[in-house]
Amino acid sequence: MSSVSQGVSSELSSLKGSDFLSSADLNTDQIFAIFELSKQLKYSRRRIDLGNRVLGLIFQKASTRTRVSFQVAMARLGGQTVDLNPQVTQLGRGEPLQDTARVLSRYCDAIAIRTYEQKELIDYSYWASIPIINALTDLEHPCQALADFMTILEKYGDLKGIKLTYIGDGNNVANSLMICGALLGVNVTISSPKEFEPDKAIVNKARSLIVNGAAINISNDPLSAAQGANVLYTDVWASMGQEKEQSFREKAFEDFSVNKEMLQLAEKNAIVLHCLPAHRGEEIAEEVMESDSSRVFDQAENRLHVQQALLAALLGGL
């Protein structure tokens, strides 16, 4: 094993058996080690065999990227996944979480959960004896943020001094970007209409984690927030569970669309990111989504690589 691989393994070995519920569950060195391991896996410079480990998937909301990238990640690590959706388990008929978590801990080696309340993940973490992974809640999307910053690192080679401006709803994706960005020393600005600013507790939490003098800013003026940005990032205006608010939100966010005019305010070689799925013509213009500045498909691909690295660390495969 090379010295780089050894360094990565020793940095990540302490994560064996841990949960990943929030972007704040990793420290700066561990995140950079995940990026290094992700890169090694992406370019086939390293193979990891977890040997028949099983990841359970409890998805209470729809998913393409997260579900499939976890399934493929486990297959590439020599393991497998099992679908534990409430529609096909006794969870859907009211079996209590505390019983479900203890039973599943006897069969699976980790569980990735996509649900509404962060509290549900915390409860799973309490009752289960295996790692619990946040596959998106209303509060955070930490696996997404890992892929996002890996994509930015690939473009710029260094995260120091990078300015990321997120335009849109102060939602789960924005929250994890702030926390992970703070830990990585990235200047993150969230630009939302006043009533859709991110949760103040998360903003304060992110600010408490800042390294390298980075800043976490909140702005209600998308055009000035976009100025000089190295990365423009956006997400849907109505997240899963908010479908009834779609038309109200379309009105509230009409000035918060990442379009060509906004992209021109950013730094000359700025990249555009979106966690996907995207609503073209709403939070992102078709011409921006399809422009040379767009890295959304590299970003989506990196979900696979970072989750493979994360699983290897949490399941003790290093």
Q: Point out which residues bind ligand CP (CB under 6 A).
A: 63-66, 136, 144, 275-276
Written as one letter, the residue type at 214 is A
Of 172 and 230, the one with the shorter C-beta distance to ligand CP is 172
Query: Are β-strands 163-167 and 231-234 bridged in parallel, bridged antiparallel, or unpaired?
Result: parallel
CA-closest candidate to residue 121, choices 309, 112, 54, 129: 112
Active-site residue (options: 303, 305, 307, 308): 303
**CB nearer ligand NVA, residue 36 or residue 140:** 140
63-102 residues labelled b (16+ CB within 10 A) or e (exposed): bebbbebbbebbebbebebeebebeebebeeeeeeeebbe
Q: Judge whether 296 and 276 are in contact, CB under 8 Å.
A: yes
Retrieve residue 42's tokens. 């992406």
Q: Which does 235 bind (CB under 5 to 8 A by kind): ligand NVA, ligand CP, none?
A: ligand NVA
**Is residue 303 flagged as an active site residue?**
yes
Stretch of 7-15, 34-42, 179-187, 234-242 lying at the interface with ligand NVA (CB under 6 A): 234-242
Edge-first strand order for the sheet with 110-114 is 80-83, 54-59, 110-114, 132-134
Annotated active-site residue in 141, 249, 274, 295: 141
Q: Cα separation of 74 and 67, whole Å? A: 11
Among the listed residues 9, 125, 172, 294, the single contact to ligand NVA using CB under 6 A? 172
Catalytic, out of 19, 109, 148, 235? 235
* CA distances for 295 relative to 163, 222, 299, angstroms: 16, 21, 6
19 or 169: CB nearest ligand NVA: 169
CA 164 – CA 178 distance, rounded (Å): 10
Number of residues assigned to the chain = 318
Could you tell which of ligand CP, ligand NVA, none binds residue 293, using a CB distance below 5 to 8 A set by kind?
none
Nearest-10 crossing angle of helices 142-156, 172-184: 50
| Residue 235 binding ligand NVA, by CB under 6 A | yes
Least separation in angstroms between CB 232 and ligand CP:
17
Stretch that binds ligand NVA, among 69-77, 217-225, 231-239, 259-267 (CB under 6 A): 231-239
Q: Which stretch binds ligand NVA (CB under 6 A): 20-28, 80-88, 170-178, 263-271?
A: 170-178
Q: What, of ligand NVA, ligand CP, none, does residue 109 touch, CB below 5 to 8 Å by kind?
A: none
Q: What is the Rg, in whole angstroms, of the alpha carbon atoms belonging to the chain?
A: 19
* Known catalytic membership, residue 141: yes
The answer to whether 115 contacts ligand NVA (rule: CB under 6 A) is no
Among 77, 180, 231, 275, binds ligand NVA (CB under 6 A): 275
* Cβ neighbours for 46, distance < 8 A, ≥ 6 positions apart: 5, 37, 40
Residues 16-75 that bind ligand NVA (CB under 6 A): none
Q: Does 146 bind ligand NVA (CB under 6 A)?
A: no
* 295 flagged as catalytic: no
With CB under 5 to 8 Å by kind, the binding choice for 64 among ligand CP, ligand NVA, none is ligand CP
Q: Which is nearer to ligand NVA, 275 or 315 (CB)?
A: 275
Active site includes 114?
yes
Compute how many other C-beta atoms are within 10 angstroms of the C-beta atom of residue 318.
21
Q: Is the peptide bond before 277 cis (omega within 30 degrees of 0)?
A: yes
Please report whether residue 122 would count as binding ligand NVA according to CB under 6 A.
no
Active site positions, annotated = 114, 141, 144, 235, 275, 303
- Residues near ligand NVA (CB under 6 A): 136, 171-173, 235-236, 239-240, 275
